[in-house]
Structure 1
Amino acid sequence: MIDFFLAPFVDFAFMRRALAGCLALALGATPVGVFLLLRRMSLMGDAMSHAILPGAALGYLAFGLSLAAMTVGGILAGLAVVLLAGLVTRSSVLKEDASLATFYLLSLAAGVMIVSLRGNNLDLLHVLFGSVLALDDASLLLIAAIASLTLFGLALLLRPLALECFDPAFLRGVSRLSPVAHYGFLALVVFNLVAGFHALGTLMAVGIMILPAAAARVWTRRLGPLLATASALAFASALAGLLLSFHADVPAGPAIVLMCGLAYLASLLLAPDGVLAARLPARSHLES
């Protein structure tokens, strides 16, 4: 049994690198997912994950599978979509979700077309679903750097972000930090989606952000424990997904997201604020 859990990581360097990359994502991307959940912007995270695809695809078209080119392209494309969606929202009758959905669909279609111009189906699968088992040292350093930047940014913006989650009108009324917190947070979302893109691809990157956050939300309502629980669930799901991929010979990225989904379903059933607890009859406070 010990060999089942430890042997893949002891014997194979690519499994250790994959686990290290998932740990960095759990520490960086998952806390961002918690704030997306609290701000009721979970689907926006999915839209933005596709928004980085054209920039990454242009980097791929120009330089091949270049880490730097695809990273810079993805970040620029994601930030451009955020700014354009905000501009459309302020200058038209469309709400932010509608403008983001429009740009997300255009970005996804454009990205797939750009990759198809030069690459083959294997390259397209690499871009869409990632290759967490093929992470090299440069990719690991990039993901770790983004995770470190994210933790620093969240610590710096924690108070205004928390206020904006629960009462954005109050924050706008008492502080000038509201736009700084809003756009700074969106920038962190883009950076972490780019980090997740290198490991899990554009279609899977948002899974490790949102699913552990949703699972943790039914266990606790306090922000600090919520962030810690979400990160722990993300790392545990990534570990289980890598083991499933290794022993069952299935793709690692989808396996990790599937384990995140199973953690969410288990939490939804078993947690104190979950489905089963809500169906249990309430006991009187006078009963022993």
Structure 2
Amino acid sequence: MTMVYDALILPFIEFAFMQRALAGAIMLSLSACPVGVFLTLRRMSLTGDAMAHAILPGAAAGFLFYGLEIVPMTIGGLIVGILVALGAGAVARLTVQKEDASMAAFYLISLSLGVLMVSLRGSSVDLMHVLFGTVLALNNDALILIALVSLLTLGMLGIFWRALVAECMDPLFLRSVSRLGSPVHFIFLGLVVTNLVAGFQALGTLLAVGLMILPAAAARFWTQQVAVMCFLAIAIGLVSSVGGLLLSYHVSLPSGPSIMLSAGVFYLVSVVASPRGLLLSRLPRAVHRAA
């Protein structure tokens, strides 16, 4: 019993940096995982990944002028993220190019530009910090930002829940019966950007989307009900965060990738062993053929 306590609980009691990392990961799971569910239902997972990279130039601009200060990097990331989302949407609507191609183009330009901007002033350590985050080094300002984003996200999801679900299932029907169709789409994109900006403080621009997508993708194998899917994604995100932090602490591994790998284990188990996974979904067919 003592060994279990020392391994699972003591690190979060003894060290303040582990407590802050756990608090940040919990709040990110509460807000980012439900947003990830709607991303996967809309088949926009890769769009979320592109948006995560697109905020890099804004964060890099804040870093160039103010260093690793949370407020300038956050404001820069928000501004650039919104501009990229609007720019990619405008290209898709006004030209022959599809939205996925325009988003990919903006993503590649943004990622390259952001890396160059960080490299102009910072070292390789600063670049790694921006790209991969430092969840074990979260300060009070970062936790306040993550808390505000979590509260905003949960509040907006509660207000626009029905419209968000309806747009996932049949966006044309929603636009025909309600004026909320287009506004809800942009509100949702705003939630994606704000959660990515909050997430890059802990996980970096390359991994921020992971906590949004992996738990949601895993949860989708277990249920078809959106509300249950959101709660399950949050649970997977919470367990993955705790497991990743403990793995990082005990084995001296980078914290962000450890959290993502923990979530990846849940995803792979869901792919194989869930009711809608590879094994159980094929079992009735095999039994039927044998009969």
TM bracket (short chain)? over 0.9
How far did 1:114 drift?
A: 0.1
Q: How do 1:18-29 residues align onto structure 2 when only pairs under 5 Å count?
A: 18-29=21-32
What is aligned with 2:205? 202
Q: Distance in 2 between matches of 1:223 and 1:21?
A: 25
Deviations 1:182-234 (A, max 9, x none): 00000000000001000000000000000000100011111111100000000
Q: Distance in 2 between matches of 1:213 and 1:63?
A: 35
Q: Distance in 2 between matches of 1:270 and 1:237?
A: 18
How far did 1:279 drift?
A: 2.6
What is aligned with 2:55? 52
SS of 2:40's partner is helix
Equivalent residue for 1:250, pick from 232, 249, 253: 253
Instruction: Report % sequence identity.
Output: 56
Q: How do 1:39-118 residues align onto structure 2 when only pairs under 5 Å count?
A: 39-118=42-121
Q: Distance in 1 between matches of 2:83 and 2:76?
A: 10
SS of 1:192's partner is helix
Equivalent residue for 2:236, pick from 233, 237, 250: 233
SS of 1:83's partner is helix
Q: Distance in 2 between matches of 1:87 and 1:224?
A: 32
Runs of 4+ aligned residues of structure 1 deviating over 2 Å after TM superposition are 281-284
Amino acid at match of 1:247: H
How far did 1:157 drift?
A: 1.2
Q: Distance in 1 between matches of 2:141 and 2:109?
A: 30
Equivalent residue for 2:191, pick from 188, 191, 202: 188
Q: Distance in 2 between matches of 1:136 and 1:203?
A: 20
Q: State the aligned residue count.
A: 285
Equivalent residue for 2:173, pick from 170, 173, 177: 170
Q: Distance in 1 between matches of 2:220 and 2:66?
A: 41
Q: Distance in 1 between matches of 2:160 and 2:188?
A: 8
Superposition CA RMSD, Å: 1.1
Q: How do 1:204-219 residues align onto structure 2 when only pairs under 5 Å count?
A: 204-219=207-222
| Structure 1 unaligned regions, length at least 5 | none
How far did 1:281 drift?
A: 3.1
Q: Distance in 1 between matches of 2:224 and 2:21?
A: 31
SS of 1:276's partner is coil
Matched, 1:280 2:283: yes
Q: Distance in 1 between matches of 2:103 and 2:159?
A: 27
Deviations 1:46-72 (A, max 9, x none): 000001000000000011111100000
Amino acid at match of 1:35: F
